[in-house]
Amino acid sequence: MNILVTGANGFIGKALCKSLLDMDFAVRGVVRSDEAGIVAGVERIVVGDIGPQTNWDSVLKGVDTVVHLAARVHIMKDKAADPLSEFIAVNAAATEQLARTAASKGVRRLVFASTIKVNGESTKERPFREYDMPNPQDSYAVSKMEAERIINEVSKNTGLETVVLRLPLVYGPGVKGNMLKLMEYIHRKMPLPFGCIKNKRSLIGLENLTHAITTASTHADAAGHMFLLSDGQDISTLELIKRIADAMGIKPLLINIPESFFTAISVAMPPLRPVLERLTGSLAVDSSKFRRIIGWKPKLTVDEGIKSMVADFIS
CA distance 171 to 168: 10
Cβ 194 vs Cβ 238: under 8 Å: yes
Q: Which of 149, 146, 287, 154 lies closest to 212 in space, CA to CA? A: 287
> Residue 189 — left, alpha, or beta (φ > 0 → left; ψ -120 to 50 → alpha)?
left
CA distance 6 to 3: 10
Q: Which of 237, 171, 176 lies closest to 201 in space, CA to CA? A: 237
Cβ 113 vs Cβ 144: under 8 Å: no
Between the alpha carbon of residue 82 and those of residues 51, 86, 220, 233, the distances in Å are 16, 7, 40, 38
- The length of the chain in residues reads 315
CA distance 143 to 32: 20
β pairing state of 109-115 and 161-167: parallel
Is 185 among the catalytic positions? Answer: no
CA distance 93 to 99: 10
Cβ 59 vs Cβ 4: under 8 Å: yes
Cβ 93 vs Cβ 51: under 8 Å: yes
Helix axes 302-314, 177-187, angle to 10 degrees: 70
Of 131, 140, 171, 185, the catalytic one is: 140
> Catalytic positions, please?
140
